[in-house]
Amino acid sequence: MEQNKPENTTDRDEILERALAPVRARFIEAIEGHILSLETLRQEARRETPEKNALKEIGQLAHRIAGIAGSVGYKQIGEMASSVERRVIDCCASDRTESDCVASVDEVLEPFLDSLESKLDD
């Protein structure tokens, strides 16, 4: 279970980890906004639209989270965000229907959102 502190911290990293604490705090503060954005985009994606913009935006936000999460100690969140991003890319490149794509992205988005929410409870 991830705690509200970085994983795999060694003694040698302690000074750096202390220095990174404010960045980590800001990452956690931003999580609530990310959850709201992802939920809103998911609702938009579920409405029938000819383009996959909402899904693409989900992918872009997941990409941003994936890029930073691991670096502030939340490797698991980073990996889950990467899975969401990859799934969106695969769906957008395929000729699957919009609803198929939404369902497919949901498979990885739902546990990702749960994991983000659990960080708010820490």
Partner 1 sequence: MRILAVDDEPLLLEVVKTSLAQLGYQDVTFVNSGPEALAAMDNAAVPFDCFLFDIQMPEMDGITLIGLTREKPAYKRTPILMLTRVSEREAIDAAFAAGATDYINKPLDRIDLKARMGMVARLVEERRRAGAVSAVAQAAEHHEAAPFETPLFMEGIGGLVEYLALENYVLTLGRKQMFSIAALGFTVENAAAIYRRAPGLQFEYMLGDVATVIFEVMKANNLMFAHAGGGDFICLLPRMHEIDPEHIEDDLRLALSDFSGLYAADGMPMPRVRVGQPVRSNVFSLTRADQILIRALAEAQPKDSMPEPAWKRALR
Give the residues lining the site for partner 1 (CB under 8 A). 12-13, 15-16, 19-20, 22-23, 26-27, 30, 60, 63-64, 66-72, 75, 78, 82, 85-86
The two tokens of residue 82 are 């990467």
Q: How far is the CB of 23 from partner 1 (least distance, A)?
A: 4
**Contact, 112 vs 62, CB < 8 A?**
yes
Distance CA 68, CA 87 (A): 19
The two tokens of residue 41 are 């985009």
Residue by residue, DSSP assigns 69-101 as HGGGT-HHHHHHHHHHHHHHHHHHHS---HHHH
Residue among 13 and 97 whose Cβ is closer to partner 1:
13
Q: How far is the CB of 36 from partner 1 (least distance, A)?
A: 18
Q: How far is the CB of 72 from partner 1 (least distance, A)?
A: 6
Residue among 71 and 115 whose Cβ is closer to partner 1:
71
Residue among 20 and 92 whose Cβ is closer to partner 1:
20
Residue among 45 and 83 whose Cβ is closer to partner 1:
83
CA dihedral 93, 95, 101, 105 (to 10 degrees): -30
Q: How far is the CB of 56 from partner 1 (least distance, A)?
A: 11
